[in-house]
């Protein structure tokens, strides 16, 4: 992350997600998978479990995050810009 904070955040709506994993393939540095295959923040990305639905992104990850948002078949991802 840069000193001024994240370039954006990727919001994961777990009520829509069914764990297909495309987003985790596009953003391997930002996202991992839990034991059921659902996307979660990569280790060290968030401070606690309650923050895990809004994953901070670097500027370099923004293009891949936009691809993930656009390609998610269930519209479970949303980029939140500061």
* pLDDT, tens only, 16-51: 999 999 999 999 999 999 999 999 999 888 876 666
Q: Label residue 55 by pLDDT band (50, 70, 90).
A: very high
- Tens digit of each residue's pLDDT (9 = 90 or more) over 44-53: 888 766 667 8
pLDDT tier at 3 (50, 70, 90 boundaries)?
low
Q: Where are the domains of the chain?
A: 8-73
Q: Which residues contact 35 (CB under 8 A, 6 or more apart)?
A: none
Average pLDDT, the chain: 91
The CATH architecture assigned to 8-73 reads 2-Layer Sandwich (3.30)
Q: Which residues of 42-65 are buried (b: 16+ CB within 10 A; e: fewer)?
A: eeebbeeeeebbbbbbeeebbebb
């Amino acid at each position: 992350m840069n000193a001024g904070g994240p370039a954006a955040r990727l919001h994961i709506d777990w009520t829509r997600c069914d764990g297909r994993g495309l987003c985790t393939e596009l953003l391997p540095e930002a996202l991992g998978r839990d034991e059921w295959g659902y996307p979660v923040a990569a280790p060290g990305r968030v401070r606690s479990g309650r923050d895990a639905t809004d994953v901070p992104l670097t500027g370099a990850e923004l293009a891949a995050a936009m691809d993930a948002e656009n390609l998610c078949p269930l519209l479970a991802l949303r980029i939140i810009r500061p």
